[in-house]
């Protein structure tokens, strides 16, 4: 079937909830994706931060094949070995005491919200809890996750949402403090905002929020779904600040292609949910947990964190050079291998121009291109990306002149 025919048929069958690029992807290898017709693309989006270990990773694939031949699913009415192996990895990496595996990041956020509400209920016996979330945040597309997402356009078409959510300004501690009262059950925020435009938490802010939560016996929920799993140079971005959350959500690179998420908690928060409070038919099944356990094994075996810390400064320097050379780039920010360039116009045309030259980039907010390469990226691929990006910016700027 010709690509144009395939796309036309897909558009007639799939719900139109995405404006997809006109590409039919077939397979991947390392840092590169290939269409069915063989067209090759350098991927600096990694499936929106998912494919940390790159494409076609043989050890990862072999681990999944081995588990397929053993057991795919049992339900959570029974124990299975991969679930314990993955749980031990998550708890060790996060510093949390217990973990619940989900099918996605949005479901992980839903679980974190339920922990906060149940924690408050156990403490007060009341059901009037409130949660403080952040403007410009993004936590997912399910109703609970949308309710704590700080962008009105994502919330308004689906109201009424869950109640009791207040929004503060990210990196403005006074705005958070002003919302605290006796009903505050938790503060939820991304340690490094992704969809909102690549905004890292400022040290004084995140430490101040931690202190406020301690003073009010409220939970600090850190969303590490996109910024976690090594992307910042630490396994989790909160480690860069010396702050511990009470609940952490993760997904994306946790499975490196397999749909798995998790929420983990420590202390009394880890004991808040009891049998009957939460569940998931597929969550934590042997297949996805075998994948997650293998991801952690490869992070250690291949010393992924050291590689991120080695190559991330080169990406920073490269993007700094581009920002200096183009006046349309008005800001550059980020941590590790999660960086963004902010433009003085919507950069959709730049993304399209790059795609035509064989480079996959993804946008964030309304005027940011974010850079989320697989964590195995090398300097030569950063150079390849930079060359195409420069050509694409120049083309778009010239067209606007």
- Report pLDDT for 227: 98
Global confidence as pTM: 0.97
- Report pLDDT for 347: 97
Question: From the CB of residue 59, how many other CB atoms can be counted at a distance below 10 Å?
Answer: 12
Q: Is 204 exposed, middle or buried (0-12, 13-18, 19+ CB in 10 A)?
A: exposed
| pLDDT 10s digits, 1-30 | 788 999 999 999 999 999 999 999 999 999
Provide the CA 219 distance to its chain's centre, in angstroms.
21
Q: What is the mean pLDDT of the chain?
A: 97
Distance CA 121, CA 176 (A): 22
- Report pLDDT for 167: 98
Distance CA 219, CA 213 (A): 6
- Report pLDDT for 142: 97
Q: What average pLDDT does the segment 248-269 reach?
A: 98
| pLDDT 10s digits, 193-231 | 999 999 999 999 999 999 999 999 999 999 999 999 999
Radius of gyration of the chain (CA): 21
Distance CA 14, CA 295 (A): 31
Q: What average pLDDT does the segment 95-104 reach?
A: 98
Question: Is the confidence at residue 278, as pLDDT, over 90?
Answer: yes
- Report pLDDT for 401: 85
| pLDDT 10s digits, 118-159 | 999 999 999 999 999 999 999 999 999 999 999 999 999 999
- Report pLDDT for 2: 85
Contacts of 172 (CB under 8 A, 6+ apart): 205
Q: What average pLDDT does the segment 25-54 reach?
A: 97
Q: What percent of the chain has pLDDT over 90?
A: 99
Please name each of the domains of the chain with its CATH number. 3-53+303-400 (3.90.1150.10), 60-301 (3.40.640.10)
- Report pLDDT for 53: 98
């Amino acid at each position: 079937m010709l690509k144009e025919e395939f796309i036309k048929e897909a558009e007639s069958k799939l719900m139109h909830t995405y404006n997809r690029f006109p590409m039919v992807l077939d397979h991947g290898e390392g840092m590169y994706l290939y269409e069915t017709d063989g067209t090759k693309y350098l991927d600096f989006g990694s499936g929106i931060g998912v494919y940390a270990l790159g494409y076609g990773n043989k050890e990862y694939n072999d681990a999944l094949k081995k588990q397929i031949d053993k057991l795919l699913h049992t339900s959570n009415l029974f124990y299975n070995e991969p679930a314990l192996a993955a749980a031990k990895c998550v708890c060790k990496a996060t510093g949390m005491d217990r973990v619940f595996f989900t099918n996605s990041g949005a479901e992980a956020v839903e679980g974190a919200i339920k922990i906060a509400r149940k924690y408050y209920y156990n403490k007060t016996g009341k059901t009037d809890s409130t949660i403080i979330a952040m403007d410009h945040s993004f936590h997912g597309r399910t109703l609970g996750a949308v309710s704590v997402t700080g962008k009105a356009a994502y919330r308004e078409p689906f109201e009424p949402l869950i109640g009791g959510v207040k929004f503060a300004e990210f990196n403005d501690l006074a705005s958070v403090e002003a919302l605290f009262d006796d009903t505050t059950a938790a503060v939820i925020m991304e340690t490094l905002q992704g969809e909102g435009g690549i905004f890292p938490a400022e040290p004084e802010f995140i430490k101040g929020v931690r202190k406020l939560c301690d003073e009010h016996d409220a939970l600090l929920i850190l969303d590490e779904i996109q910024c976690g799993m090594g992307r910042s140079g630490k396994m989790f971005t909160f480690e860069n600040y010396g702050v511990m959350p009470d609940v952490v959500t993760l997904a994306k690179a946790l499975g490196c292609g397999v749909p798995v998420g998790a929420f983990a908690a420590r202390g009394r928060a880890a004991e808040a949910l009891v049998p009957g409070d939460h569940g998931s038919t597929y969550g934590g099944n042997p297949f996805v947990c075998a994948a997650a356990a293998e991801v952690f094994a490869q992070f250690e075996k291949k010393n992924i964190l050291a590689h991120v810390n080695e190559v991330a400064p080169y990406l920073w320097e490269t993007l700094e050079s581009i920002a200096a050379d183009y006046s349309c780039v008005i800001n550059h920010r980020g941590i590790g291998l999660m960086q963004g360039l902010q433009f003085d116009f919507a950069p959709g045309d730049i993304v399209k121009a790059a795609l035509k030259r064989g480079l996959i980039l993804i946008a964030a907010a309304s005027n940011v291109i974010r850079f989320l390469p697989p964590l195995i990226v090398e300097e030569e691929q950063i150079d390849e990306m930079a060359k195409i990006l420069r050509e694409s910016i120049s083309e778009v700027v010239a067209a606007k002149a």
